[in-house]
Amino acid sequence: MRKNILLLTVLSLMVACSIKQPNSDEDKLNITSKFKATWNVHESVEVNDDGTLTYRALPWGGLVCDVRERKMPVDLSEYESITFEFAKPTKVMTQYVLTEKLKRTAKPGITSFVCEFDGQDVSSVDEIVLQASDSTTIEISDVYYTPASSRWEPEKIWEGECVFGHWTGGFVIEPEKFESARAGDKLEFIYRPDTSNKDGYWLFKTIYSGTESTLEGNAEELNIYGCATVGRDSRDYRINLTANDVANLKVKGLFTNGYYNVVTRCNLLHKVAIDDYEENDEN
């Protein structure tokens, strides 16, 4: 009898260890199953047998992930981004919204999109929303957070106050200001949206000075006019710099303008590993 009890106990422990625990790090990062509702009652979301989602979208509706805990907003500051992976390429432009502080758009035809938090205040988030610009079906395979592994050290390359208005303002940053830039750095704009704009959208356009060519680093975010949309409450816009961006900026420099934003500073951000930051703090 004791042997049977011992055997059952061992088997129970083995089964318990083999079951994926709901509070594991992997489960904490993956939030696919939390996308359960839509903003438009005429839209729908279906959970497939393999755990993927089928979202039947209408123009500027929204597939909603409620990330609140105990009905309270959550702090996502420990993460650096959220990634959407699609089972099939998207057919229309999509938009990703975390409150009004973080809004990113992506061109059609993508199979994944990384929405980087990039200096925005994500300490109080209640929902994450995926939107489509037109009626379509979107097949979603995974949505997950990526923990922060680095910090960004700023180097000021421009300061002032440029009022974009209705495309009437803009400024140039000379090539020599990009001397220290390298592939993988980020270009950061510190700004405030001009709330006198009643159209409900705010835009940035960044090109190599003296050309009509937009930067590569934010190509997926651009609309057909080469503009990136930013959130109403956003205060920081960043662009990842590719090797080609860096080469062109060092020769041509940058020209920036847009729609109803007021830019006060531009930085080059150099990536520093969190471990290196901690070592410097100790010293």
Domain extents for the chain?
Answer: 24-147, 150-275
Range among 90-99, 204-213, 222-231 rated most confident: 204-213
For 52-86, write each residue's pLDDT tens digit.
Answer: 999 999 999 999 999 999 999 999 999 999 999 99
The helix/strand/coil state of 222 is coil
For 199-215, write each residue's pLDDT tens digit.
Answer: 989 999 999 999 999 99
For 106-164, write each residue's pLDDT tens digit.
Answer: 889 999 999 888 767 889 999 999 999 999 999 999 999 999 887 889 999 999 999 99
Q: Give the predicted TM-score (pTM) of the model.
A: 0.71
Give the range among 37-46, 106-115, 153-162, 240-249 with minimum mean pLDDT.
Answer: 106-115
Give the range among 155-164, 233-242, 266-275 with minimum mean pLDDT.
Answer: 266-275
Is 94 within 8 Å of 130 (Cβ atoms)?
yes
List Cα–Cα distances, 60 to 134, 201, 212, 235, in angstroms: 7, 13, 30, 23
Q: Which CATH architecture has domain 24-147?
A: Sandwich (2.60)
Is 69 within 8 Å of 89 (Cβ atoms)?
no
- pLDDT beyond 90 at 10: no
Fold match between 24-147 and 150-275?
yes
For the domain with range 150-275, which CATH number is right: 3.10.450, 1.20.140, 3.40.50, 2.60.120?
A: 2.60.120
CA torsion, ordered 174, 177, 183, 186, to nearest 10 deg: -90
